[in-house]
Every structure is written in structure tokens, then in C-alpha cells.
Chain A
Amino acid sequence: KQEVTQIPAALSVPEGENLVLNCSFTDSAIYNLQWFRQDPGKGLTSLLLIQSSQREQTSGRLNASLDKSSGRSTLYIAASQPGDSATYLCAVSSWSQAGTALIFGKGTTLSVSS
């Protein structure tokens, strides 16, 4: 059964720092991997979607990479800002579950101080 882990659970950094959030998964036979942002009391906002055939995706200051062989994805945030403070979740869709639902990690809560 696919399991998704995000470490650390919480991270605090000063404004302007570049940072990396980690996501690991146990079954490398994935369909895609998606990164989300969640603000307190809100729904999830999709940040980046990486298909299994892709190695990375970029959107503005965000870059997500995917290494299926090692079961890892990273979300790189450049020049962090206080507005980046939120919980970041990754979710994996496995081939055996394609068309059903994603398996989520528990998230990393990021705090960026000014």
C-alpha cells in the first residue's frame, strides 16, 4: 500500500532564504505527484503537477522535482516571503489507483518571518 511521508512536519526560516520541502513515497509505480498549498481554515490550492514521465515542473519561484527510482520529490521555494507561510502537502496517485484518488502526506507547515 502506498505511503507518503513529509519531513519535517514544521519549518521556520527568515525571509529571503531558499528552502526545500521533502516528500517520499514507498511505491515507485506512480501515475503522478502533486504539490498543494493550504492556508489555515482553507481548501487546498494546487501548485504543481508532475506526471510520471517528467522530472520537474516550475512555476514562478517554485520548482518541483521527481525521482521515482528513489521514491522522492522535492519542492524548492526560492527567495521565500512571509506570504509563503502555509502548509504544503504532496499527494501521489499510483498506477493501481489511477482514476480513484490520491494518497496524501501529512504536510510541512512553513513559517517565513520578516
Chain B
Amino acid sequence: DGGITQSPKYLFRKEGQNVTLSCEQNLNHDAMYWYRQDPGQGLRLIYYSQIVNDFQKGDIAEGYSVSREKKESFPLTVTSAQKNPTAFYLCASIDRAGELFFGEGSRLTVL
């Protein structure tokens, strides 16, 4: 089955730690995205990548970093510089018709 796999589903972080969220897709899509979802705020774009080895900041990139070394993979690192990282993180990719497909999400909690 083609789709987007995010891991881990739940993640706990201590203050000062960096954590990395995995996102893998087997849909052969060029563009991939990371969104953050908070209650009452909707989805906000963190980073996006339209092609391998290239990525752009979204609206709330501060405290986050990404890489795109392979077409299938777009990991997101939440660094210690992100002051309020507790949130639901969603990875997505888009096909040529412009339809967006999402993974099941990763919930990060800061202890």
C-alpha cells in the first residue's frame, strides 16, 4: 500500500533535548511538507521541500530543522531552541494534481 509513514507516534522530550521525527513516503511524490497542529490554531507550515536536497522555511521554522537527502524521506528535528514544542506534527506529500496526502501524525510532549 502506498502512503506516508510517520514515527514515532508518541514522543516525550526533556528540556534541552533535540528530537527527530521520521517521515517516509512511497508515493513517488517530489514535494513534502511538515505542519504543526495546535488546538484552536489550525495547521501551520514549518518546512517544505519541493525536490531532493532543497527545502524552504515555512511560517514557523524557528527552532526546527529538516533534511531531504532522499526523495522518500523528510525528517524533522525539533531542537532545544524551540520554546514550545508540545504539539501534534503532521507530514504530508503532494501529487502532480495538487492533492495533499498526510501521515498519521506524531505527538510530541515536553516533560
A residues with a Cβ closer than 8 A to B are 31-32, 34, 36, 41-46, 49, 51, 89, 91, 93, 98-102, 104-107
Contacts and interface: CB of A to CB of B under 8 A. Distances in A.
Contact of B90 (A31, A32, A44, A100): A44
B42 interface: yes
B100 A45 contact: no
B40 interface: yes
B105 interface: yes
Q: How large is the interface on B (under 10, 10 to 19, 20 to 34, 35 or more residues)?
A: 20 to 34
Given A99-B50, A101-B48, A101-B58, A49 B102 contact: no
Given A34-B99, A99-B50, A105 B42 contact: yes
A43 B103 contact: yes
Given A43-B105, A45-B102, 13 more contacts: A31-B98, A36-B102, A42-B104, A43-B103, A44-B90, A44-B102, A46-B100, A49-B98, A51-B97, A89-B42, A89-B43, A91-B43, A101-B58
12 contacts: A32-B97, A41-B105, A43-B6, A43-B103, A44-B102, A46-B99, A100-B56, A101-B48, A102-B100, A104-B42, A104-B43, A107-B42
Contacts of B4: 43
Contacts of B45: 101
Interface string B91-111: 010000111111111010000
B74 interface: no
B97 to A, nearest CB: 7
Contact of A106 (B6, B41, B105): B41
A46 to B, nearest CB: 6
B31 interface: yes
Closest 5 CB pairs between A and B?
A: A43-B102, A106-B42, A44-B102, A104-B43, A43-B104
